[in-house]
Structure 1
Amino acid sequence: MKYPVAIWMLAIGAFAIGMTEFVIMGLLSNVARDFGVTVSDAGQLITGYALGVAIGGPILVMLTIKWNRKYLLLALMLIFIIGNVAAAFSPNYGVMLVSRIITSLAHGSFFGIGSILAASMVRPEKRASAMALMFMGLSLSNILGVPFGTLIGQNLGWQMTFIIIAIIGLIALIGIVFFVPMTREEVKSSMLNELRILKEKELWLTLGITLFGFSGVFAYFTYISTILMNISHVPEHFISAMLIIFGVGVTLGNIYGGKLADWNLNRALQIIFITFIVYFVLLYFIQTNPIVMVVGIFLFGFIGFSMSPSLQLKSTLVSQDAPTLASTLNQSAFNLGNALGAFIGGIVVESLPLQYLSLIAPILTAIGLILLSINIAINKKASREA
């Protein structure tokens, strides 16, 4: 089946958003050097972005619940472009941080609304594939966009990276204008209907699993370029190649993680969490070897991001009555996990030798595993009593 051009335009938007979120990891040392701040301080640019997604996304959803979806997508892409242009021309660290927060406001709502629109443009039996096509832009941003942006930033300055991201955002904006159809149907959701989901205790427990389970990934990944250069002793000009390898791992992890989730959702998460915790310990010993880390960085991306489909699906299953807010809250949980991981990672980098980060990060994932075990026990008890 040929998919509408509009879905490809949404995929380009997803690519740009994924690129602006993740490319900062590869440029952290460069940004810190130019602004005269520590790498730990520069890491808060990641924290600020994640918090903007987590807090700003749900607020935007509530404020725009009655908006036409096409107009909302256009507004979100405009915010995204302005934020990236502001980042490119930031005169100091403070302005850079504010620009990152502005950019982040487009993130959660774009994926929530965009996926709903993508599904509405195809036959019912193809909706999952249409949504997957849109999210493929996010996966490709890790394989192509982040390494390319890192390479540009290291050779032409990180400012040029954000200018290029803004241009990609502009292409997506123009594509949405011309190809995304104007939805005429009445919006059935209301603020009250969407807010009712907040009373569900299982939703909050599930979001907690996402938050802590995924935060272990970002505790280490936030400082990946610094680790590769200072611990693994990988030359700076090879960092972009290493990030390509990481991106391939991320994409394959998403694919096979989804297959594992289809088999048994909770069991899949248990296997992935336990495997990831054990792998972090192994990472402590192999991260000093640049050759072994070629495989190590691939496995880190593969295992870490294989949990994403399971966490996404688990959140969806407990929130079917409020799809817009639920999908955005799930993005919030992911990004709060990113922020928590970056924050904890920053504390470790400031107080301990950098190599110990691989032993501290899995503690966060272990908390996610504990919450998952509690969730499984509660569901089993409810099933017995039913």
Structure 2
Amino acid sequence: MPSGLVALALGGFGIGLTEFLIAGLLPQVASSFGVSEAAAGRLISGYALSVAIGALALTAATARLPRKGVLVGLVALFVIGNLLSAVAPSYSVMLLGRIVAALCHGSFFGIGSLVARSLVAPERKSRAVAVMFAGLTVANVLGVPFGALVGERWGWRAAFWAVTAIGVLALAGIVALVPGWAGQVRPPAESGRAGAVPPSGLRAQFRAFRSWQVWLTLTATALGYGGMFGAFSYIAYTFTEVSGFSPADVAWLLMVYGVGLVVGNLIGGRAADRDRDRALVLALLGLTITLAVFGLLAGSAIASVILVFLMGVTGFAGVPGMITRVTDFAHGAALAASANVSASNIGNALGAWLGGLSITAGLGYTAPLHVGAGIALVAVIVMAVAAHHARSPAHRTDHSM
């Protein structure tokens, strides 16, 4: 494994950690600044909104710059944001720190995926992306308990100091281990001619969005995430109100889900390198079936443990393949890779909103699972259409709208 991938994975771990650990620290933060729970919650929602905006804005603004240099700048921004949070004298400064840290999130994973795939042979590109995302999935497992443990023992500021230190290590790793040429040249097997340079100008970056395949992949990404988060956003209620678990059990059940994310990410990367479109359709179909069965068997504690693990596996198995697919059809445009991150966040918001509507409508705490299954089924259809269109003879000569 190239050492540069390890540095990227460490950066992904730090970014994922700062996203997730705040959930376990909200009571302490709210008490420290004397703000309401709702205000403290904006430290989460503000972060998510900034991710969606920063993914496109920063990628577009840095389109002509060397990608290693951009990654160094993004991780430096991450360090500054978490340092602001660690020393914040007021709630407003804390929120500013969260926003600054979040701005780098989408661009890091978008541009980082292009750098990661350039470090390996073309037939291993999805696995390389999966290695980078392994940091994010591990952070999903450890983020909340890490924040709660460190916060309880040394205070919530200590958690942000720890993340800042991880960011500094990732920054040093990227500077030392990622080669300067990484992400700048597409492999001949992908570009059709040796040494082809990905589009760098803003106009060329936007031209990549003329491809139907780019839009179909982004749509499938949004719907796939929407299906998973339509269910996941309310899974604690499902566990406690339907499956019979106590509130104290929710933490370890979420860790089971997180382990599923790690497994799904690694399996999905390998499968996508063998037959990407088939792997993506099967991952989305697996998510659809898992959520539908979960909705039917949520009353069983044993079944719930198994199915929340499978929800993590199938929900994240498509991520490496989706990113390599959208960047392939966008001819390496970094803006398309970052747009994939934005699409996932849009899907998260859509799924959570629709899942909430189903509960408000009085359909019960298993309803979000069925809503998620329905959204994921639409994703299967979109991905199947994209795969069929990609195989058609006409597509070989015309990739655009």
Give me the TM-score of the superposition, normalised by structure 2.
Answer: 0.77
- Equivalent residue, structure 2, for 1:36: 36
C-alpha RMSD of the superposition: 3.9
Measured in 1, the distance between the counterparts of 2:396 and 2:110 equals 35
Alignment of 1:153-232 (within 5 A): 160-182=158-180, 189-225=200-236, 227-232=238-243
Superposed CA offset, 1:239-289 (max 9, x none): 443233222211221233334434543343333333322322322244344
Superposed CA offset, 1:49-94 (max 9, x none): 34433332122112112334344223212322333345554855x7
Q: 1:165 to 1:350 in 2, by over 3 A?
A: farther
Post-superposition offset of 1:175: 3.3
* Local SS of the residue matching 1:105: helix
Give ranges in structure 1 of 5+ residues lacking alignment.
none
Q: Amino acid of the residue matched to residue 284 of structure 1? A: G
Post-superposition offset of 1:319: 1.6
- Equivalent residue, structure 2, for 1:63: 61
Contact 1:45 1:100 (8 Å CA) reproduced: yes
Post-superposition offset of 1:20: 2.5
- Equivalent residue, structure 2, for 1:3: 2
Given the alignment, which residue of 353, 367, 380 partners 1:343?
353
| Aligned residue pair count | 380
Measured in 1, the distance between the counterparts of 2:395 and 2:118 equals 38
Measured in 2, the distance between the counterparts of 1:22 and 1:317 equals 30
- Equivalent residue, structure 1, for 2:52: 54
Measured in 1, the distance between the counterparts of 2:134 and 2:252 equals 20
Superposed CA offset, 1:16-42 (max 9, x none): 112233445666788789853469x94
- Equivalent residue, structure 2, for 1:311: 322
Measured in 2, the distance between the counterparts of 1:87 and 1:224 equals 29
Q: Amino acid of the residue matched to residue 282 of structure 1? A: V
Superposed CA offset, 1:323-346 (max 9, x none): 322221222222222232233344
Once the two structures are aligned, what percentage of the paired residues are identical?
36
Measured in 2, the distance between the counterparts of 1:53 and 1:256 equals 26
Post-superposition offset of 1:118: 4.3
Give ranges in structure 2 of 5+ residues lacking alignment.
186-196
Measured in 1, the distance between the counterparts of 2:224 and 2:315 equals 9
Q: 1:298 to 1:26 in 2, by over 3 A?
A: farther
Q: 1:99 to 1:229 in 2, by over 3 A?
A: farther
- Equivalent residue, structure 2, for 1:20: 18
Measured in 1, the distance between the counterparts of 2:183 and 2:138 equals 32
Measured in 1, the distance between the counterparts of 2:171 and 2:395 equals 51
* Local SS of the residue matching 1:214: helix
Between 357-366 and 23-32, the greater mean CA deviation after superposition: 23-32
Alignment of 1:236-385 (within 5 A): 236-320=247-331, 322-348=332-358, 352=362, 353-376=364-387, 378-379=389-390, 383=394
Post-superposition offset of 1:15: 0.6
Measured in 2, the distance between the counterparts of 1:258 and 1:52 equals 27
